[in-house]
Structure 1
Amino acid sequence: MIADIKKNTESKMQKSVENLKNTLAKVRTGRAHAGLLDHIMVDYYGNPTPINQVASVGLMDARTLSVSPFEKKMGAVIEKAIRDSDLGLNPASMGDVVRVPMPALTEERRRDLIKVVRGEAEDSRVAVRNLRRDGNEQLKKAVKDKLISEDDERRGTDDVQKLTDKYIADIDKQLADKEKELLTV
């Protein structure tokens, strides 16, 4: 019973941390990385399709992405989808390949992005704490229903707290890494 509650809580906390990792990957730092375009949807024969399913995304150099469509006629559609996205990028076609240069970030923009990143990290911390609360409530309910003893509940609560501390530390590490990356010119 306690093991199930811990396992369930830990898997949900892991998903929360993974969600933060994916969100932070979308924050543009001025350096190009292939995962930056993953959330962009392209109109592929009337269906919204992720860009990585209609083209291969790679790096030309440290500040330029190359997008090679699998079908030649998709180049213009991909270019439009990137331009219309919330990333503020300006792609350009070069034959069959769409080049996506990363503009340099200003100091003010870097500070704004750090505020956004900190907000996302705090949202993840709150989610992990809510999961801790839910796990503790499940343990209390199990004691009330006489499924476990109070000593088992106390040990379970301690284990859930250790999980919480572990995942909050992981969130803080991701935040520190992203802030360092954003401040690097």
Structure 2
Amino acid sequence: MQEDLELVIGAAEESMANAVSHLENELLKIRAGKASPAMLSSVMVDYYGTMTKLTQVANVNTPDAKTIRIQPWEKAMIEPIEKAIAYSNLGLNPQNNGEVIMITVPPLTEERRRDLVKSAKAESEHAKVSIRNARKEANDDIKKLQKDGLSEDIAKSAEIEIQELTDSYNKKVEIEVERKEKDIMTI
């Protein structure tokens, strides 16, 4: 019975950790005025008929805070990469010199910064919902175990432990979003 309880708590913690990890990945995609290779992580390129991640057909780096440099592995990929970036709806304008693609990241307007903060907060809300769902599932599993013979005291202490996990992961979400908001609003 105790092993089942530990499994429930472990699964809940893993789900909550995955929610925070997913949030961190989503926040990387929200640009903060500085160039970052992560800004292009969602770009898919037509690589000889197969949709492939940009990072698998080119080297993406940032020589400075306002520029992204893309060096394709094959020269034939310059045009498909350029098209993929233009159609990705990221608001970036790629330019190539026949060898590499350069993207100058435009400065963010105040209104755009506020919109990005809203998207970051929306992502944090998704993470919090996932954390709450993990808590609900864990508490439901604890109630099932209680029906199967788990003592009420142990069930209560497990629910308290689940709530403490929930609070700590919600705090991590808040910290991540505050950090991203500060990053976005810094000019």
TM superposition score normalised by structure 1: 0.97
Is 1:67 the counterpart of 2:84? The answer is: no
Deviations 1:50-79 (A, max 9, x none): 000000100121110101000110011101
Map 1:111-150 → 2, pairs under 5 A: 111-146=114-149, 148-150=150-152
Cα deviation code 1:71-123 (max 9, x no counterpart): 11001110110111021100100231100110111001111111111111112
Structure 2 match to 1:183: 185
Q: 1:153 aligns to what?
A: 155
Per the alignment, residue 40 of structure 1 pairs with 43
RMSD: 0.9
Q: By how many angstroms is 1:25 displaced? A: 0.7
How does 1:21-60 map onto structure 2 within 5 Å?
A: 21-60=24-63
Instruction: Tell me the residue number matched to 2:7.
Output: 4
Letter in 1 for 2:161: D
> TM-score with structure 2 length normalisation?
0.96
Q: How far off is 1:28 after superposition?
A: 1.4
For 2:107, which of 104, 109, 124 is the aligned residue? 104
Q: SS of the residue aligned with 2:33? A: coil
How much has 1:18 moved relative to structure 2?
A: 0.9
The unaligned stretches of length 5 or more in structure 1 are none
2:96 aligned counterpart, secondary structure: strand
The question of whether the paired residues in 2 share the 8 Å contact of 1:28 and 1:87 is answered with no
Query: Deviating runs (4+, > 2 A) in structure 1?
Result: none
Q: What secondary structure does 1:152 align onto?
A: helix
Query: Which runs of 5 or more structure 2 residues have no equivalent in the other structure?
Result: none
Letter in 2 for 1:85: S
